[in-house]
Structure 1
């Protein structure tokens, strides 16, 4: 099942460290088959507030996403971003092609008797 590394970058900016980070990040993703799916566009906010931008990187599975983030190659360049951009990052698993949210809720027992 695909997994995604998602970053909400609340204070995006460009400086020499960020340029270096961006020049080096793809080489850290390649061994884990990470592919950028979304990278920093101005979001169209349709509910609530969303300061900043979003980055979504797809991996074949959560194990490879975690291995990429923990890899020495990525950890070496990560401070270049962390020093300059406030944000949050998460890893989430995707859903399959026949995913049904109602079934998931019923299977989890989250819906009471009606």
Structure 2
């Protein structure tokens, strides 16, 4: 099942460190088959307030995602982002194309 790293970044202080992070992140993603599916687009808030940049990186599965985040190459550049922006990052597993909204009701009753 595909997995996603989703970031909601705010107060990005664009400077040499963020530029270096952007120049290096793609090479950290490649060995784990990760790629951006949302990055750099201006969001259109429809409900509520949004002040920041949405970023979504897709991986083949959760193991690839976790291995990328914990890789020495990514850990080396991570402070370039965290020390120059505010935000939240989450990991989430996707659903397949047959998923229906009511499927969560079945999953919830199992707990």
Q: Same fold, TM exceeding 0.5?
A: yes
d(CA) in 1 for partners of 2:106, 2:67: 33
d(CA) in 2 for partners of 1:80, 1:57: 18
- Where structure 2 has 5 or more consecutive residues not aligned to the other structure, the ranges are none
* Residue correspondence of structure 1 range 4-43 to structure 2 within 5 A: 4-43=4-43
String of CA shifts for 1:64-100, please: whole Å, max 9, x gaps.
1011011110000000111110011011000001001
User: Equivalent residue for 2:76?
Assistant: 76
- 1:104 Cα deviation from its structure 2 partner: 2.6
**Number of positions where the alignment pairs a residue of Structure 1 with one of Structure 2:** 110
Instruction: Report the TM-score when normalising by structure 1.
Output: 0.91
- Where structure 1 has 5 or more consecutive residues not aligned to the other structure, the ranges are none
String of CA shifts for 1:32-75, please: whole Å, max 9, x gaps.
00010011222100111111111100000011101101111000
d(CA) in 1 for partners of 2:62, 2:107: 22
User: Equivalent residue for 2:102?
Assistant: 102
- 1:13 Cα deviation from its structure 2 partner: 3.4
State whether structure 2 residue 63 is matched by structure 1 residue 60: no
Computed over aligned residues only, the root mean square deviation of the Cα atoms, in angstroms, reads 1.3
Which 4+ runs in 1 deviate beyond 6 A? none
- 1:107 Cα deviation from its structure 2 partner: 4.1
Larger radius of gyration: 1
Distance 1:83 1:109, change over 3 A: same
